[in-house]
């Protein structure tokens, strides 16, 4: 019996390798037969690329003025998000949006808060590197100088391991960073242990009641934050969902031509289609406890307030430039309809959301700053 199962496991591995020859050198950290993310054919995963990418991710030499690395805005302790409403770029320019957490991003169907055409990490990573509105790393115009900084014995070795020779280019930098980002897998939360590893005693009764509320038709949370990543925006090797994962949640209803603040109208900016005003991607709720403040502009401070927001069926802003009643936004999703919760039920829901926190993820030494001595 034992032998048989070993043979079976070997067979599965062999068949798996045959389908993805390019991934032989990389061992995904995926429990319980989770499907592997889709990887572009011209950038197969390898441990050497992930290692190079990790060094680049934490290296301030990658920004023109050496003030900022990717990790300045994407910090491991906050599940690779940030604990402030808006990020600031390397030259001090404010970013209008809240830095997203980087959790299972290899599975994302689209990238950033509101873009339906940005479908690979490789494409997304060009934005913080080369983008000028706002300037994040400020690479544009400083490519040569930046590349020279990486001509060190350590990087020569890492680049050679990853790509076969020591020449570093921005194409290779992007590929390595994308590989490191794909390696950021978080599937070890108490919820995962309960739902996917069949450990029945991990969640308390209160958390289970919160889970029922989360998945109820009355609250509808799961409608938009569904699947194993708690977002509709998931695709993987076994299945590609084709859902429009962008929604107007009634966060605003300002006066004027647009019902959202004009500096960020969401998906509308990309499509020009009026019905997309205020539509943003439903983000993952994994590690959500760690990623306050919330929403695309960091305008809700706590999880408790997020629940009040959904219970009210949108946000009413009484004064200031964004004054208006989001509950009546005519483009609001029909699934944000409001509901009543007792104080106890609210606690239960919050307690359930806390079961999505993966301590191993934020403490995983493989993801930490390779330059800081432990």
Binding site for ligand HEC (CB under 6 A): 68, 70, 72-74, 87, 89, 95, 97, 99-100, 102, 105, 108, 111-113, 121, 124-125, 128-129, 136-137, 177, 181, 219-221, 223-225, 247, 249, 251, 280, 282-283, 285, 288, 291, 294-296, 303, 306-307, 310, 333, 335-336
Q: Which is nearer to ligand HEC, 11 or 173 (CB)?
A: 173
**Cβ neighbours of 74 (radius 10 Å):** 22
Q: Which is nearer to ligand HEC, 48 or 71 (CB)?
A: 71
Q: Minimal distance in Å, beta carbon 8 to ligand HEC?
A: 36
Residue 363 in tokens: 């403490």
Report d(CA 264, CA 301) in Å as an integer: 19
Q: Which is nearer to ligand HEC, 158 or 197 (CB)?
A: 158
Residue 139 in tokens: 């690479």
Q: Which H or E run includes 148? A: helix 143-149
Tokens 């929604």, residue located = 247
Residues in Cβ contact with 266 at an 8 Å cutoff, skipping those fewer than 6 apart: 113, 114, 246, 248, 260, 276, 277, 278, 279, 280, 296
Q: Minimal distance in Å, beta carbon 20 to ligand HEC?
A: 22
Q: Which is nearer to ligand HEC, 48 or 295 (CB)?
A: 295
Report d(CA 269, CA 140) in Å as an integer: 23
Tokens 């308390």, residue located = 204
- The CA distances from residue 349 to 74, 204, 215, 250, 284, in Å, are 27, 12, 10, 21, 16
By the 10 Å C-beta count (0-12 exposed, 13-18 middle, 19+ buried), 128 is classed as buried
Q: Minimal distance in Å, beta carbon 152 to ligand HEC?
A: 19
Q: Among positive and negative, which fits the CA dihedral 317, 319, 321, 325?
A: positive
Q: Minimal distance in Å, beta carbon 230 to ligand HEC?
A: 9
Q: Minimal distance in Å, beta carbon 221 to ligand HEC?
A: 3
Q: Minimal distance in Å, beta carbon 168 to ligand HEC?
A: 14
Residue 4: DSSP 8-state: H
Q: Which is nearer to ligand HEC, 89 or 190 (CB)?
A: 89
Of residues 56, 75, 349, the one with CA closest to residue 216 = 349
Q: Which is nearer to ligand HEC, 138 or 188 (CB)?
A: 138
Q: Which is nearer to ligand HEC, 116 or 136 (CB)?
A: 136
Q: Minimal distance in Å, beta carbon 11 to ligand HEC?
A: 35
């Amino acid at each position: 019996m034992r032998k048989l199962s070993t043979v079976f496991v070997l067979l599965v591995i062999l068949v798996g390798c045959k389908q993805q020859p390019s991934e032989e050198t990389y061992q995904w950290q995926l429990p319980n037969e989770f499907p592997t993310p889709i990887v572009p054919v011209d950038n197969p995963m390898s441990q050497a690329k992930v290692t190079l990418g990790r060094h680049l991710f934490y290296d301030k030499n990658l920004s023109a003025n050496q003030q900022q690395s990717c990790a300045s805005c994407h910090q491991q302790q906050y599940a690779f998000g940030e604990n402030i409403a808006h990020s600031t770029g390397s030259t001090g320019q404010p970013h209008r949006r809240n830095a997203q957490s980087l959790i299972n991003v290899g599975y994302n169907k689209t990238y950033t808060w509101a873009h339906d055409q940005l479908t690979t990490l490789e494409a997304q990573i060009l934005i913080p590197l080369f983008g000028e509105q706002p300037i994040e790393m400020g690479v544009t115009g400083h490519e040569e100088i930046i590349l020279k900084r990486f001509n060190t014995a350590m990087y020569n070795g890492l680049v050679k391991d990853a790509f076969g020779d020591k020449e570093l280019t921005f194409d290779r930098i992007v590929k390595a960073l994308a590989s490191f980002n794909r390696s950021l897998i978080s599937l070890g939360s108490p919820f995962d242990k309960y739902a996917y590893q069949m450990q029945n005693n991990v969640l308390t009764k209160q958390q289970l009641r919160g889970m029922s509320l989360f998945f109820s038709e009355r609250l509808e949370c799961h409608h938009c934050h569904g699947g194993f990543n708690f977002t509709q925006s998931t695709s993987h090797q076994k299945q590609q969902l084709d859902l429009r994962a962008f929604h107007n949640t009634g966060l605003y209803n300002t006066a004027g031509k647009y019902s959202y603040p004009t500096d960020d109208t969401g998906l509308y900016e990309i499509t020009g289609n009026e019905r997309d005003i205020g539509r943003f991607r439903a983000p993952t709720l994994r590690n959500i406890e760690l990623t306050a403040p919330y929403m695309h502009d960091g305008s809700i401070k706590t999880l408790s307030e997020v629940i009040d927001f959904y219970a009210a069926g949108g946000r009413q802003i009484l004064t200031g430039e964004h004054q208006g009643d989001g509950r009546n936004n005519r483009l609001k999703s029909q699934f944000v309809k409001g509901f009543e919760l007792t104080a106890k039920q609210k606690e239960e829901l919050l307690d359930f959301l806390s079961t999505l926190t993966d301590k191993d993820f934020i403490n995983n030494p493989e993801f930490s700053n390779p330059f800081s001595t432990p």
